[in-house]
Structure 1
Amino acid sequence: MKVGIILGSNELDRVAYAGMHALISATLDNEVVLFATMDGVKAFLKNPDLRVESGTSKTIRESNEDVFQHFRKAKKSGKLKILACSYASKIHGLDKDDYGDLVDDIVGITSFSMEVEGGQIISIW
């Protein structure tokens, strides 16, 4: 099965949840495509810009947990592709060189939709 994850936030707890969901889905042998859009693209910069406003985000930060470990494990399995939204990249003035090595490509929502056609899609805002 294909699993699409739309991440529209750079809030630490939401990024952590997206990573856990991606890893679990990949572990269950699903093809996973994460589409980072709007503020979600900021989480995948070379120097990630993660907001810490919620109580859960503060707890995660205090624990010093590496929230990107889940993405790296899922990528290592070959089952996860991370795409940055071309529109969000444009409005934030970002190009491929601004993103870290987890990002595979910058594409539009149409390309993401075609990647996960017929699959399950979850949105994390």
Structure 2
Amino acid sequence: MKVGIILGSNELDRVAYAGMHALISTTLDNEVVIFATMDAVKAFLKEPDLKVESATSKTIKENKEDIFQHYVRAKKSGKLKILACSYASKIYGYDKDDYGSLVDDIVGITSFSMEVEGGQIISVW
């Protein structure tokens, strides 16, 4: 099964959740496509810009957890693709060189929708 995750926030706890969900899904032998849109594109920059406003985010930061380890492990399975939103990238003036190695491509919502057609889609805002 294909799983699509639309991530719209760069809040630390939400980015962590999307990574955990991706890892669990790939472990269950699902193909996962994450579409980072709006502020979420900031989380995948070479130097991630993560908000720490919620109590959970503050706890994660205090515990010095590496939330990107979930993404790295899922990517190693070969079953995770991370796409940055072309619209959000344009708004912020980002191009492929601004993103870290986790990002596979910059695409629009139509391309993401075609990638996960017939699959389950969840949104994390």
Task: Give the TM-score band, short-chain normalised.
Answer: over 0.9
Q: CA deviation at 1:57?
A: 0.1
Letter in 2 for 1:115: E
Alignment match, 2:29:
29
Unmatched segments (≥5 aa) in structure 2: none
Q: Distance in 2 between matches of 1:53 and 1:65?
A: 16
Percent identical pairs in the alignment equals 86
Listed as ranges, the matches of 1:6-85 within 5 Å are 6-85=6-85
Q: Distance in 2 between matches of 1:66 and 1:74?
A: 14
SS at the partner of 1:6?
Answer: strand
Note the aligned Cα RMSD (angstroms): 0.2
Letter in 1 for 2:88: A
SS at the partner of 1:106?
Answer: strand
Q: Distance in 2 between matches of 1:34 and 1:62?
A: 26
SS at the partner of 1:26?
Answer: helix
TM-score normalised by the chain length of structure 1: 1.00
Aligned positions, number:
125
Alignment match, 2:86:
86
Q: CA deviation at 1:90?
A: 0.2
Alignment match, 1:101:
101
Q: Distance in 1 between matches of 2:124 and 2:41?
A: 13
**Structure 1 residue ranges (4+ consecutive) displaced by more than 4 angstroms after TM superposition:** none
Letter in 1 for 2:11: E
TM-score normalised by the chain length of structure 2: 1.00
Letter in 1 for 2:49: D
- 2:2 is the alignment partner of 1:2: yes
Alignment match, 1:124:
124
Q: CA deviation at 1:38?
A: 0.1
SS at the partner of 1:39?
Answer: helix
Q: Distance in 1 between matches of 2:35 and 2:67?
A: 17
